Structure 1
Amino acid sequence: MAIIITDECINCGACEPECPNTAIYEGADDWRYKDGTALKGKIVLPDGTEIDAEAPQTPISDEVYYIVPGKCTECKGFHDEPQCAAVCPVDCCVPDPNHVESEETLLNRQAFLHNS
């Protein structure tokens, strides 16, 4: 399952540099699939959607840091535990019950994002 950042976030920014997929963005900041990944140009997402990896996407939150579910791998393939949760001083990086995913799905996403 992907990780979410709850409204208890204090916007300290400790989580953002820890994400190996650059899936964490400051509130109100646009995000891109290309950020922190090997993706560039026109791509086809695992769900079949065609997009430009370099095109800005609408922020998921305007107020607190947020995690893009389609880029979050819970650090699978990089670390034993989600690094955002490990460094969050207020424990607001938690599993997202709306995005329950298997380890296989997370590892496949990691391979897709990094062409490995």
Structure 2
Amino acid sequence: MGCVGSSTKGVVDRHQKKKVRRPKAWKHSEVITRAQLKQMRDEFWDTAPHYGGQKEIWDALRAAAEADIHLAQAIVDSAGIIVQSEDLSTCYDERGAKYDLPKYVLSEPTNIKQE
């Protein structure tokens, strides 16, 4: 409850869950191979827990990023992850810690080089 003039604009409602969607198409700054993309992803996931937050949430976000869209939704729901951006690029845990995911861990660029 608040006073008559209070507003809930901009407040995240933890009970209103956003549906996870596929990320929009994007283009890397230069053409890269699948091996380079995999290396970038592995480096991010190896260092992600050092950015703060809980390791269990990072593990759940990795599983969701690598899963199909329906399984990703189930993973974030069961882990109690609050999805700010529907493409999973910005999420929060129940304690309010923020998790930012780069687009290269969420989808492939349009200019990936076929090996």
TM-score norm. by structure 2 comes to 0.26
Structure with more of its chain in helix, by fraction? 2
- Choose 1 or 2 for highest CA Rg: 2
